[in-house]
Structure 1
Amino acid sequence: MKYVAMLFVLATMLSAGICFAAEPVPEVPVKGMVTVVDLGAKTCIPCKMMVPVLDAMEKQYQGKASVVFIDVRENPAQAPKFGIKTIPTQIFYDKNGQETYRHEGFLDQKPFAEMIDKLLAN
């Protein structure tokens, strides 16, 4: 019965024109900068494991490389746009905006940093 009431509320909100907006999707790759985009979901366990790695990389490479997270459950059009087959997926772009590497699944901080360092050196 509880679910029926929830569905009724949701249907009422949608028919009244109230919709749920996803977070804005950042521009990827960032123009003129090495960029890493992590495509995942806030509710996925391996994706949650990526959060401290992404935070550390964002701090370590601030001003040198851009680290971006896109939630593909909140923004479902992004998965086909980036050709995502599984989450999390990390895509690395050089400063010219060319994809240079793609990894599916959890990626630890050390190989993550090594890939960014390699892109920054080129």
Structure 2
Amino acid sequence: MNGKIMRAFVLLFLTCSLLPGCGQANSKSSETEKTTVEAENYLVTFVELGSVRCIPCKLMQPIMKDIEKDYAGQVKVVFHDVWTPEGEPFAQTFKIRVIPTQVFLDKEGEEYFRHEGFFPKDELIKILQQKGVK
């Protein structure tokens, strides 16, 4: 009898611990699809993964604003604060190691370049130009 109770308990435990993970996987998938869909309307989607509380990330903020303004209609700029509950799934989706991390997606939504750390504007523009941004 004790063996049956123990097996039932183990089965219940495994079921309960696996279900939350399944729900998270689905939400990550839909978030990734959202970023990919956004990429289709632009030559490049520039995804900045960082935090508003990180010094190098703060230095990237004016660069992101300039890129968004100077290349409107060609480049979509997306920022995810990975130190918040809303942004944290994107750290896993994009498999980042450090912040800031910049990920560049082409018009098909495929990653074509990645950079870790502060990224000077003139170097960043060279990466955008690889996909026809003028």
TM-score (normalised: structure 2):
0.68
Residue 51 (structure 1) aligns with: 61
Measured after TM superposition, the shift of residue 78 of structure 1 is: 1.5
Q: 1:83 to 1:101 in 2, by over 3 A?
A: same
Equivalent residue runs for 1:87-106 within 5 Å? 87-106=99-118
Query: CA–CA distance in 1 between the matches of 2:76 and 2:62?
Result: 16
Query: CA–CA distance in 2 between the matches of 1:38 and 1:66?
Result: 11
Query: CA–CA distance in 1 between the matches of 2:120 and 2:99?
Result: 15
Structure 1 stretches of 4+ with a deviation exceeding 6 A read none
Larger radius of gyration: 2
Query: CA–CA distance in 1 between the matches of 2:64 and 2:115?
Result: 14
Measured after TM superposition, the shift of residue 120 of structure 1 is: 2.1
Given residue 86 of structure 1, which amino acid in structure 2 is its aligned partner?
V
Given residue 85 of structure 1, which amino acid in structure 2 is its aligned partner?
R
TM-score (normalised: structure 1):
0.74
Given residue 68 of structure 1, which amino acid in structure 2 is its aligned partner?
V
Equivalent residue runs for 1:43-122 within 5 Å? 43-74=53-84, 75-120=87-132
Q: Which runs of 5+ in 1 are unaligned?
A: 1-24
Query: CA–CA distance in 1 between the matches of 2:78 and 2:110?
Result: 16
Query: CA–CA distance in 1 between the matches of 2:50 and 2:94?
Result: 12
Match of 1:90, SS state, is strand
Match of 1:119, SS state, is coil
Query: CA–CA distance in 1 between the matches of 2:128 and 2:51?
Result: 22
Q: Which runs of 5+ in 2 are unaligned?
A: 1-30
